[in-house]
Amino acid sequence: MTPDEFRRAGYAVVDWIADYWATLGQRPVASQDSPGAVAAGLPAGPPEHGEPVEAVLADLESLIAPRLTHWQHPGFFGYFPANTSGPSVLGDLVSAGLGVQGMLWATGPACTELETVLLDWLADLLELPKRFHSGSGGGGVIQDSASSATLVATLVALHRAGGGRWREVGVDRRYRAYTSTQGHSSIEKAARIAGLGTDGVRPVEVDPDTLAMSPAALRAAIEADRAAGVVPAIVVATVGTTSTTAIDPLPQIGAICAEYGVFLHVDAAYAGAAAVCPELRFGHAGLEYADSYCFDPHKWLLTGFDCDAFWVADPAELIEALTVLPEYLRNAATESGAVIDYRDWQVPLGRRFRALKLWFVLRWYGVEGLRAHIRSGVALAGRFADRVHADDRFELAAAHPYSLVCFRLRADDETNAELLARVNATGRVHLTHTRVAGRYALRLAVGSPQTTEAHVDEAWQLLASTADALLPR
């Protein structure tokens, strides 16, 4: 494809996306088709001769788009938001067009340096502890996801627990990882990948009211394990749990980690973005205890997946844990010690120029634009929670410090599951569910920059009217 062919086809694809966004609100949020509908519509193999881009766009519109869950839809309230934005898409487009491989500083100096600087910008924007800033001996890096950040943190913690011998001799199965019963599934997955097994994870009880990790339970678990000859290696605390956005108390948890010499990773995948607003930094109190921290601009900061921002206080320890240097990657810049080679900060070797999309977002929105976006989400969630609170048939299932509201009908689990199914079947909104203290609850998470009061109100109307049908008056 020549540059001029690219220009023409590129305009057509840009138009397709602009039209998709303009019509998104009219599309059903999720497909109701059965498994296999897309596969059945595809030919048995690729064409022998090339086809024009227009042919692919036609199939995209008729075959693919109707069978998607539209995560950017203003009525999408499921899981956590994973929102993108125009500037993010354009930054990613530049990255794809450059096709630069950022594994080493030498293989793309600007790719590495822009990333380092932007992670410092973000650290300042969230007012993270100075120790994570590259100017203070720390450092940030973009991972694909919080799952990978948790894995990397776990590996560094194991290396430290093993007295620096982990990288040669492997993992000692007496090491343990601690997280609350509300911790993300990726913590168990990381422990399994790292060779600790599911048995290597200690689920720590939470306070029944706040659903936050109990410091007393953490201390008890650590002391019991130590008495039994087991070695506490890492605590993963969460700011904004996936189920209900509970906030683990970092001041107390951090002090316990410091007392027992345990590595502390803080996972703020969703809620960290809120800290761009000074009044929403409460979850980060005590963060100065953390050895590593991450949040996902790809969740609530208008940057398309994949963009997890991960910081460590001691990059040297991270690099020592993960580096392998074969001859074909040796180069003068690396050997000078004056540069960062981000391949040593992550699981894969290769890496895309992901800092570009973050750069486009930060510059297009500016600090005030980002704050307005976060505040809008919190306000919309508050508006919805007010509706729930004002209707005696419903109850809030947990606090809503950010933009997620967990709620339920005052009815049994089956009725609540039916409520969710019926409301989602309208195609106007898409919510998901969780369990809070064992009981089924619906989750409404606000995040799309296209979501307005009208969309949240429509969601509430659909829920209220479906409740009318489900509950005898």
363-402: which residues touch a second copy (CB under 8 A)?
363-369
Residue written as tokens 């594994």? 103
User: According to CB under 8 A, which one of 28, 29, 105, 252 is a site residue for a second copy?
Assistant: 105
User: According to CB under 8 A, which one of 25, 86, 137, 427 is a site residue for a second copy?
Assistant: 86
Tokens linked to 5: 């062919």
Sole window of 39-47, 211-219, 257-265, 381-389 interacting with a second copy (rule: CB under 8 A): 39-47
Residue 309's DSSP bridge partners are 142, 295
Question: Contact between 454 and a second copy (CB under 8 A)?
Answer: no
Are 87 and 365 a contacting pair, CB within 8 Å? Answer: yes
Question: Contact between 114 and a second copy (CB under 8 A)?
Answer: yes
User: According to CB under 8 A, which one of 74, 77, 79, 235 is a site residue for a second copy?
Assistant: 79
Are 271 and 247 a contacting pair, CB within 8 Å? Answer: yes
Q: What 3-state DSSP class applies to 270?
A: coil
Question: Contact between 84 and a second copy (CB under 8 A)?
Answer: yes
Residue written as tokens 């650590």? 222
Q: Is the N-terminal amide bond of 291 cis, ω within 30° of 0?
A: no
**At its nearest, how many Å lie between a second copy and the CB of residue 380?**
19
CA atoms within 13 A on the CB side of 182: 29
**At its nearest, how many Å lie between a second copy and the CB of residue 410?**
20
Question: Contact between 88 and a second copy (CB under 8 A)?
Answer: yes
Each residue 300-339 as x (binds a second copy by CB under 8 A) or -, in order, gives ----xxx--------------xx-xxxxxxx--x--x-xx
**At its nearest, how many Å lie between a second copy and the CB of residue 37?**
7
Are 259 and 227 a contacting pair, CB within 8 Å? Answer: no
User: According to CB under 8 A, which one of 133, 202, 443, 455 is a site residue for a second copy?
Assistant: 443
Q: How many Cβ atoms from other residues are within 10 Å of residue 349's Cβ? A: 13
Question: Contact between 110 and a second copy (CB under 8 A)?
Answer: yes
User: According to CB under 8 A, which one of 289, 311, 342, 359 is a site residue for a second copy?
Assistant: 359
Phi-psi region of 437 (alpha: psi -120 to 50; beta: other; left: phi over 0): left
Q: What whole-number distance in Å separates Cα of residue 269 and Cα of residue 146?
A: 6
Are 429 and 409 a contacting pair, CB within 8 Å? Answer: no
**At its nearest, how many Å lie between a second copy and the CB of residue 141?**
15
Binding residues among 204-243 for a second copy as defined by CB under 8 A: 242-243
Question: Contact between 50 and a second copy (CB under 8 A)?
Answer: yes
User: According to CB under 8 A, which one of 29, 77, 82, 236 is a site residue for a second copy?
Assistant: 82
Degrees (nearest 5) of the Cα angle 406, 408, 410?
A: 150
Q: What whole-number distance in Å separates Cα of residue 139 and Cα of residue 112?
A: 12
**At its nearest, how many Å lie between a second copy and the CB of residue 390?**
26
Binding residues among 171-200 for a second copy as defined by CB under 8 A: 171, 173, 184-186, 188-189, 192-200
**At its nearest, how many Å lie between a second copy and the CB of residue 232?**
16
Binding residues among 247-276 for a second copy as defined by CB under 8 A: none
Eight-state DSSP code of residue 25: G
**At its nearest, how many Å lie between a second copy and the CB of residue 217?**
20
Question: Contact between 437 and a second copy (CB under 8 A)?
Answer: no
Q: How many residues does the chain have?
A: 473
Q: How many Cβ atoms from other residues are within 10 Å of residue 47's Cβ? A: 8
Q: How many Cβ atoms from other residues are within 10 Å of residue 11's Cβ? A: 10
Are 308 and 298 a contacting pair, CB within 8 Å? Answer: yes
First to last CA, the chain: 65
Question: Contact between 148 and a second copy (CB under 8 A)?
Answer: yes
Sole window of 62-70, 220-228, 394-402, 453-461 interacting with a second copy (rule: CB under 8 A): 62-70
Question: Contact between 202 and a second copy (CB under 8 A)?
Answer: no
Question: Contact between 60 and a second copy (CB under 8 A)?
Answer: yes
